[in-house]
């Protein structure tokens, strides 16, 4: 990976990022849908002037940030990865999460590409191009926050901000070899972020380290910034969910996961099997149609009737499923989910976190999925399977890169709602143990 050295000036690091974006042999043209080069240079210069005067807006001051192309910027059309919205009305105000980053000195370099309307974990986009995986450009980056993950892993940004409805920060982080955080939903305001699912959408960062993700998360959540210290690994109570979430693992994933478990037990963590019986209840609720399809159809129902040919066909088919879901089933799903969220919180009370592979597979080839709907559907289901549990039960979760010699693999830690700071301390400890 190519990452700008943090001890250089903000302007120097920004120029290094812009050079990476402009490299014709790189993925910049597919990773970004819009650049703010001159605005970013002005912001970086301002951060450097503050540093020279011994002043600072905080730990994020001068850091280079890309943002997913679903966040509102005043005066701009928010395309959300779709050509359907190219003629939409410009945004009147800035998304609060982005405004907070800017106020903290974040240098916004551009809008990052994404799956159309954030509706898949694969990362393919026929409208704006599909950014290639940093480990192998012929492979998918993961989605839906595809361009953001590639921007960080390829040294085109230091931090990126995405959305996560079923795994959309954690999946691309895992497949691209970086860190991705899905916070408890309430922490970061979703206003000004084009929605996929009102019930499930969360806003989270990706970066090359847990510390950078924690910093961006705290700024967007409006928290007081405090140093992040690792939690002790000795005595840590970690549960491996048994059953479906461990099935269909590719050998590379299984080997990396087993090695990580051995490393953690070697540091004194207590790793036990956990049945996660409530998973069956989640699947029963989603069998009625799921929140994302139901709510996405509500959002796009007019365009689905008037301009169906302008959708990515792979996304349109997923939205179309929401057309036939009865209102009574949707209300049932909402009420039953609330019950299951409370039950899961109790189920996890005796654990510090669940640990499992972020995705059971490594990144497939783009060519194998782009025009084969059956292959796309199968890969998408596998990519979303483990991560979507965190969204349904409104948990907080983070994906960490595992040491591998081939394609990237992610380790996911999942904790109870509201335990975000504790999760980040655990993640920092796990990150340190895996690196050394």
| Residues involved in catalysis | 68, 144, 168
Residue 284 CA to residue 198 CA, distance in Å, equals: 20
Residues 6+ apart with CB under 8 A from 239: 271, 272, 273, 274, 276, 348, 351, 353, 354, 355
Whether 296 and 361 have beta carbons less than 8 Å apart is answered as no
Q: Which tokens sit at 169?
A: 């920060």
The H or E element that residue 274 is part of is strand 270-274
Q: Is the dihedral of CA 300, 306, 309, 310 positive or negative?
A: negative
Whether 222 and 256 have beta carbons less than 8 Å apart is answered as no
Half-sphere exposure in the Cβ direction for 68 (13 Å, CA): 35
- DSSP-assigned states of every residue in 401-416: E---SSS--EEEEEE-
CB atoms within 10 A of CB 189: 16
Residue 303 CA to residue 306 CA, distance in Å, equals: 5
Residues 6+ apart with CB under 8 A from 302: none
Residues 6+ apart with CB under 8 A from 408: 135, 174, 175, 176, 177, 362, 363, 401, 402
Q: Which tokens sit at 331?
A: 């209300």
Residue 44 CA to residue 15 CA, distance in Å, equals: 10
């Amino acid at each position: 990976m190519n990452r700008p050295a943090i001890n250089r000036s903000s302007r120097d690091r920004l120029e290094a990022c812009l050079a990476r974006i402009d490299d014709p042999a790189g993925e910049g043209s597919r990773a970004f849908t819009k650049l703010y080069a001159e605005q970013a240079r002005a912001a970086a210069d301002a951060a450097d002037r503050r540093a020279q005067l011994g002043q600072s807006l905080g730990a994020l001051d001068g850091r280079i940030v890309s943002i997913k192309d679903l966040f509102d910027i005043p005066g701009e059309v928010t395309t959300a990865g779709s050509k359907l919205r190219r003629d939409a009305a410009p945004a009147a105000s800035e998304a609060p999460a982005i405004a907070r980053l800017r106020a903290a000195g974040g240098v916004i370099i551009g809008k990052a590409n994404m799956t159309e309307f954030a509706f898949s974990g694969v990362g393919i986009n026929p409208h704006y191009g599909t950014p290639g995986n940093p480990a192998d450009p012929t492979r998918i980056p993961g989605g839906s926050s595809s361009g953001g993950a590639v921007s960080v892993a390829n040294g085109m940004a230091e931090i990126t901000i995405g959305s996560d409805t079923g795994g959309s920060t954690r999946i691309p982080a895992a497949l691209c070899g970086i860190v991705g955080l899905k916070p408890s939903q309430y922490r970061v305001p979703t206003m000004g972020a084009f929605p996929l699912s009102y019930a499930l959408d969360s806003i989270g960062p990706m970066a090359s380290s847990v510390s950078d993700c924690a910093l961006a998360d705290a700024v967007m959540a409006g928290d007081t910034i405090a140093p992040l210290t690792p939690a002790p690994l000795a005595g840590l109570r970690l549960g491996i969910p048994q059953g479906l979430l461990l099935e269909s693992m590719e050998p590379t994933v299984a080997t990396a996961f087993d090695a990580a478990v051995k490393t953690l037990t070697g540091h004194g963590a207590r790793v036990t099997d956990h049945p996660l019986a409530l998973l069956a209840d989640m699947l029963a609720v989603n069998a009625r149609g799921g929140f994302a399809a139901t709510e996405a159809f509500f959002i796009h129902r007019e365009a689905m009737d008037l301009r169906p040919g302008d959708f990515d066909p792979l996304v349109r088919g997923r939205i179309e499923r929401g057309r036939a879901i009865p209102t009574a089933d949707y209300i049932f799903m909402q009420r039953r989910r609330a019950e299951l969220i409370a039950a899961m919180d109790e189920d996890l009370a005796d654990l510090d976190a669940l640990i499992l592979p972020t995705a059971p597979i490594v990144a497939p080839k783009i060519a194998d999925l782009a025009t084969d709907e059956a292959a796309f559907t199968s890969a998408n289901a596998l990519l979303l399977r483990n991560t979507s549990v965190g969204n349904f039960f409104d948990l907080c979760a983070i994906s960490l890169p595992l040491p591998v010699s081939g394609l990237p693999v992610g380790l996911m830690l999942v904790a109870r709602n509201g335990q975000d700071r504790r999760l980040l301390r655990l993640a920092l400890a796990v990150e340190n143990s895996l690196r050394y």
